[in-house]
């Protein structure tokens, strides 16, 4: 849980919640990696990657990585085909010049810098095989566009609502709270 929460944080959370719902729509069931069947699947995926990081192959405390990022830029769905285990160090991507994050395959080649090409190729193939095995939905251009439009609208609406809430509080504070009660004790 974040300590400092901005309207953008609330809006981003709403977008992730939407991407979770769409992922579950394609999966046909809920996918909570913290409990029950979702947790079972997550542990199974970790095992398939040898309980090691999908990018650097170090055995470590593993975190969930969404290959197609779980945000307004890549619109990755929360779906077993889109998650792999990674170590803490690999769970941070560099950014492109336009400030967006690099894609998972660029990130993989950066993590593997200096390693033999066949090692990079093997890890790349393993991740692709994972996406296919778990049938990550192959969305067409219209579907991707629809997700993008809805996510953008959701983001802007939630951000605007958060900002409106502060404006409303300021108004109420002036109209009622300050007026009747005199100087604060």
The answer to whether 127 and 55 have CB atoms below 8 angstroms apart is no
29 vs 92 by CB, closer to Zn ion? 92
Q: Of 90, 108, 112, 127, which one interacts with Zn ion (CB under 5 A)?
A: 90
Adjacent-strand bridge partners of 64: 85
The answer to whether 41 and 33 have CB atoms below 8 angstroms apart is yes
Residue 2 Cβ, how far from Zn ion at the closest point, in Å?
Answer: 24
Residues 6+ apart with CB under 8 A from 4: none
Q: Of 14, 56, 147, 150, which one interacts with Zn ion (CB under 5 A)?
A: 56
Q: Would you call 155 helix, strand, or coil by DSSP?
A: helix
55 vs 70 by CB, closer to Zn ion? 55
* DSSP category for residue 8: H
Residue 109 Cβ, how far from Zn ion at the closest point, in Å?
Answer: 13
| C-alpha triplet 64, 157, 9: angle, nearest 5° | 35
Q: Of 45, 77, 87, 151, which one interacts with Zn ion (CB under 5 A)?
A: 87
Stretch that binds Zn ion, among 18-26, 35-43, 82-90, 115-123 (CB under 5 A): 82-90
For Zn ion, the binding residues (CB under 5 A) are 53, 55-56, 87, 90
């Amino acid at each position: 849980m974040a300590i400092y929460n901005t309207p953008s944080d609330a809006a981003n959370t709403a977008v992730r919640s939407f991407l979770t719902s769409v992922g579950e729509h394609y999966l046909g069931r809920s996918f909570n990696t913290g409990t029950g069947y979702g947790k079972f699947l997550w542990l199974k995926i970790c095992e398939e990657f040898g309980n090691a990081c999908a990018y650097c192959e170090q055995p470590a405390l593993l975190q969930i990585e969404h290959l197609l990022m779980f945000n307004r830029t890549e619109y990755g769905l929360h779906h077993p085909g889109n998650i792999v285990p990674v170590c803490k160090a690999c769970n941070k991507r560099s950014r492109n010049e336009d400030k967006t994050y690099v894609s998972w395959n660029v990130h993989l080649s950066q993590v593997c810098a200096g390693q033999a090409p066949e090692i990079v190729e093997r890890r790349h193939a393993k991740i692709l095989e994972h996406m296919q095995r778990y049938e990550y939905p192959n969305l067409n251009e219209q579907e991707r566009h629809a997700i993008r439009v809805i996510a953008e609208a959701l983001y802007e609406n939630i951000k605007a609502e958060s900002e409106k809430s502060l404006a409303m509080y300021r108004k109420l504070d002036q109209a009622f709270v300050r007026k009747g009660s005199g100087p604060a004790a």
